[in-house]
A and B are shown apart, each in its own frame.
Chain A
Amino acid sequence: MTKPLTGAQIMCEALIREGVEVMFGIPGGAIMPFYYAMWDYRDRLRHVLCRHEQGAGHAAEGYARATGKIGVCIGTSGPGATNLVTPIADAMMDSTPLLAITGQVGSHVLGKDAFQETDITGITMPITKHNYLVKNVDELPYVFKEAIHIATTGRPGPVLIDITKDAMQKTTVPNWDIKLNLPGYKPTYQGNRRQIREAIKLLISAKKPLIIAGHGIIMAGAHRELQEFAERLRIPVITTLHGIGAIPENHPLAIGMPGMHGWVHVNRAIQECDVLFNIGGRFDDRVTGKASTFAPHARIIHVDIDPSEIGKNVRVDVPIVGDARLVLQALLEDLPPPSELAELHTHASDWMEHIREMQDKHQGKQQYKNRAAMANMSLPPHDVYEALSRTLNARGNYRVVTDVGQHQMWAAQLIDWNHGPRTHITSGGAGTMGFAVPAALGVAIAYPNETVWAIVGDGGFQMTNQEMATIVQEGLKNVKVAVINNGYLGMVRQWQELFEHKRYSGTPLSGPNFAKLAEAYGWKGLTVERSEDVQAAIDEAHATDGPVLIDFRVEREVNVFPMVPQNKSIGEMILSESQA
């Protein structure tokens, strides 16, 4: 191709070459040349006009998290770019492959406080895996290729490209014969064989081994290998918040979620185990509680693709840097024959029995929702989750996106996650309220034939619900929103109730009539106030060929239990208000 193209056309071509099909954004002065060029590519590059750049960023994240492909978001210079900061930070914390494209003022006025000039590469330096300021049209093919390579390989993450307006307008003959020049970027994928043998030795000699499956399993697509490995050794598997889907929860070896709102039997098992094998989890403080007291009897094996995660929060005995799938494959290859695993298997079944006993004794899912305190509530939140879990599991073909707060923890706890990886998507590391509705938009675009549920609190919903208009404009019929409406910034209120003398400072929250708001957006809006109406509303949402919102007006002051108070050992869980 020897035809000269504008920088903006080159950007479109570069994205298409990298397999990008959809982008989420909002135009403005500095990015207008890109939108001008986009018009000619509109049959191959779908542009989704969002209502806020934060929404565009989360939508791109949702798309990326659901597909594993890069999510692309666009903003203009200045406020357009700064509105992308939250989703970029969110993507950094949750290792989401995200490409943020921002327009920048012309290079001749750069650094002069020109209209809508913001130093977005400076601002996003600590929250991107890498970023670029492009002032020269000739650099565009290279930068786009490198940026997407960096965002999607190794430990994925957000990359931002800021392009001056003149670089988009100038023309050049693009050179697509690109060899990346990245001597400092060589992710390690294959685990070290010696360490892998060491890990097997440890696991085989263990009497109380445990596996923690983290986000790395999902991102590497290692769920089958994980399941096979756990089955071969008969080791119980814990799934972190982002590891949900790594193993179906109805699998006999799956024991559930650890950490601050994990289950008692899971946290106790961690405190008792003698070998802890963490694949693709980063020992976040919401998982470990007070790190110095975490898994005191365990030798720890940690597999992570990012070397800096190993040994960062907890001491590690066998570090393995690599891709979760490739490491598990190597582990499977090196496993001794079943005859040599007999002893391990006996220990394993005693151990599993012990864990299940603890599970029966302390409230697992089943007992928890039958707590007497809920008996005379007209709509305990648990009834919503129970019905959702039942219905989703019966129907299949769904994705769930959750926001941040109590409703998020209940979703992780109370829904039976049996349908594989990438069916549960949430903002974990950053805990970004406002994530769910726009992220659901991105997921719905990626999977138009599946039902995408956003479960969101009344607080988070009021941060980004304007993307409901985007969902209508894009003709998406597969989005359903469940607002768990408790009239509070519930999770904060819970902390105030338990640890701050019930000083409900800044947490009681009003809102519009959400069902009417939904109707105003052209959605169907339903309101549910009693447990007996929950199932019918969920069924109606599924039966409706279009977006539906259900405002579940749940009991206002219900707490998420079990709970590990902040900075406490995960061995010290509280199970009810009276223990706080």
Chain B
Amino acid sequence: MKKHTIVALLQDRPGVLSRVIGLIRRRGYNIESLAVGHSETAGVSRLTLVVESEDVEQVVKQLYRLIEVIKVSDVTDDPTVEREMTMIKLHAPPAARHEIISMCSVFGARIVDVGSNTMIIEMTGTPGKVENFIEVVRPYGIKEMMRTGRIAMVRGARGHNASEYVEPATNGVAVPALN
């Protein structure tokens, strides 16, 4: 099954994320990664979803059925910049540190904490590069690892500014934040 990267704009309302996740679960879609956070426009979040599906059009249409979903784009075949971040707590006795540090510099990873026998390494990159890095450091002994979901942005002038879809605060009338 093909993997698709979907970017969606969501109106910020309570429960919106559980609506998206619930939909994915009950329709039986396989998600590989999901990341969500504020967009450039107040009241709108931007979500990146990596989903495995033979019928991605159905996934997009089902997402649109959610009232809060403003815009959904399948950017799989668009030129995008994709990033993911990981933090790895590595077994790092003093003898191994030198090697680890040089490995990090090759990958552009940063060491953000050093303990007596451990290091926390932060690494941001394309999902493939993050994957490679993890494999390279794995032999030292990974004590803990955390990965964020993938985020993707379409290159150049294309893409969607959230403010296109949201009307500015209306004529002084109460449009409750619904929080």
Interface residues of A (CB under 8 A from B): 121-122, 125-126, 129-130, 132-133, 136, 138-139, 141-143, 150, 175, 177-179, 181-185, 306-308, 311-312
Q: Does B156 contact A (CB under 8 A)?
A: no
Q: How far apart sit A321 and B37, CA to CA, in the bound complex (Å)?
A: 32
Q: How far apart sit A263 and B14, CA to CA, in the bound complex (Å)?
A: 48
Listed from nearest, the 7 A-B pairs whose CB atoms lie closest are A308-B61, A184-B70, A139-B176, A181-B175, A183-B165, A179-B170, A130-B67
Q: How far apart sit A122 and B167, CA to CA, in the bound complex (Å)?
A: 29
Q: Are B174 and A311 in contact (CB under 8 A)?
A: no
Q: Does B143 contact A (CB under 8 A)?
A: no
Task: Enumerate B100-155 residues with CB–CB distance to A below 8 Å.
Answer: none
Q: Does B95 contact A (CB under 8 A)?
A: no
A182 smallest CB distance to B (angstroms)? 7
Map CB proximity to A onto B153-177 as digits: 1 under 8 Å, 0 otherwise: 0000000000001110011011110
In the complex, identify which listed stretch (B15-23, B28-36, B76-84, B86-94) lies at the interface while the others stay far away.
B15-23
Q: Does B6 contact A (CB under 8 A)?
A: no
13 of the cross-chain contacts (CB-CB < 8 Å) are A129-B67, A130-B67, A139-B178, A142-B176, A142-B178, A150-B67, A175-B174, A181-B167, A184-B64, A184-B70, A307-B64, A308-B65, A311-B58
Q: Are B58 and A142 in contact (CB under 8 A)?
A: no
Q: Are A311 and B57 in contact (CB under 8 A)?
A: yes
B49 smallest CB distance to A (angstroms)? 16
Q: Are A184 and B175 in contact (CB under 8 A)?
A: no
Q: Are B22 and A126 in contact (CB under 8 A)?
A: yes
Q: Take A133-B14, A139-B178, A175-B173 as given contacts and tell me if A182 and B61 are in contact as well, using a CB distance cutoff of 8 Å.
A: no
B40 smallest CB distance to A (angstroms)? 15
Q: Are A307 and B171 in contact (CB under 8 A)?
A: no
Q: Does B50 contact A (CB under 8 A)?
A: no
Query: In the complex, what residue of chain B is closest to A179 when comparing beta carbons?
Result: B170
Q: How far apart sit A181 and B170, CA to CA, in the bound complex (Å)?
A: 9
B96 smallest CB distance to A (angstroms)? 47
Q: How far apart sit A352 and B11, CA to CA, in the bound complex (Å)?
A: 51
Q: How far apart sit A11 and B8, CA to CA, in the bound complex (Å)?
A: 34
A472 smallest CB distance to B (angstroms)? 40
Map CB proximity to A onto B27-71 as digits: 1 under 8 Å, 0 otherwise: 000000000000000000000000000000110011011111111
Residues of chain A within 8 A of B69, CB atoms compared: 184
Q: Does B26 contact A (CB under 8 A)?
A: yes
Residues of chain A within 8 A of B173, CB atoms compared: 175, 177-179
Query: In the complex, what residue of chain A is closest to B176 when comparing beta carbons?
Result: A139
Residues of chain B within 8 A of A182, CB atoms compared: 11, 67
Q: How far apart sit A183 and B107, CA to CA, in the bound complex (Å)?
A: 42
Residues of chain A within 8 A of B11, CB atoms compared: 181-184
Residues of chain B within 8 A of A179, CB atoms compared: 170-171, 173, 175
Query: In the complex, what residue of chain B is closest to A134 when comparing beta carbons?
Result: B178
Query: In the complex, what residue of chain A is closest to B72 when comparing beta carbons?
Result: A184
Q: How far apart sit A182 and B71, CA to CA, in the bound complex (Å)?
A: 12
Query: In the complex, what residue of chain A is closest to B55 when comparing beta carbons?
Result: A311
Q: How far apart sit A307 and B15, CA to CA, in the bound complex (Å)?
A: 24
Q: Are A184 and B66 in contact (CB under 8 A)?
A: yes
Q: Take A121-B15, A132-B178, A138-B174 as given contacts and tell me if A183 and B22 are in contact as well, using a CB distance cutoff of 8 Å.
A: no
Q: B64: which of A142, A177, A308, A312 is its contact (CB, 8 Å)?
A: A308
Q: How far apart sit A57 and B60, CA to CA, in the bound complex (Å)?
A: 31
Q: How far apart sit A143 and B64, CA to CA, in the bound complex (Å)?
A: 21
Q: How far apart sit A125 and B18, CA to CA, in the bound complex (Å)?
A: 9
Query: In the complex, what residue of chain A is closest to B13 when comparing beta carbons?
Result: A132
Q: Take A125-B15, A184-B69 as given contacts and tell me if A142 and B174 are in contact as well, using a CB distance cutoff of 8 Å.
A: yes
Residues of chain B within 8 A of A138, CB atoms compared: 174, 176
Query: In the complex, what residue of chain A is closest to B9 when comparing beta carbons?
Result: A184
Residues of chain B within 8 A of A121, CB atoms compared: 15
For the A-B complex with A179-B171, A181-B167, A312-B58 known, give 15 more contacts whose Cβ atoms are closer than 8 Å: A125-B22, A129-B67, A130-B67, A133-B15, A142-B174, A142-B175, A142-B176, A143-B178, A178-B174, A182-B67, A183-B165, A183-B167, A184-B68, A185-B67, A308-B64
A128 smallest CB distance to B (angstroms)? 10
Q: Are A308 and B67 in contact (CB under 8 A)?
A: no
Query: In the complex, what residue of chain A is closest to B23 when comparing beta carbons?
Result: A126
Q: How far apart sit A150 and B57, CA to CA, in the bound complex (Å)?
A: 24
Q: How far apart sit A501 and B171, CA to CA, in the bound complex (Å)?
A: 70
Q: How far apart sit A126 and B171, CA to CA, in the bound complex (Å)?
A: 34
Residues of chain B within 8 A of A311, CB atoms compared: 57-58
Q: Are B70 and A183 in contact (CB under 8 A)?
A: yes
Q: How far apart sit A265 and B115, CA to CA, in the bound complex (Å)?
A: 79
Q: How far apart sit A141 and B175, CA to CA, in the bound complex (Å)?
A: 10
Residues of chain B within 8 A of A307, CB atoms compared: 61, 64
A123 smallest CB distance to B (angstroms)? 11
Q: How far apart sit A306 and B65, CA to CA, in the bound complex (Å)?
A: 8
Q: Are B176 and A308 in contact (CB under 8 A)?
A: no
Residues of chain A within 8 A of B18, CB atoms compared: 122, 125
Q: Are A126 and B26 in contact (CB under 8 A)?
A: yes
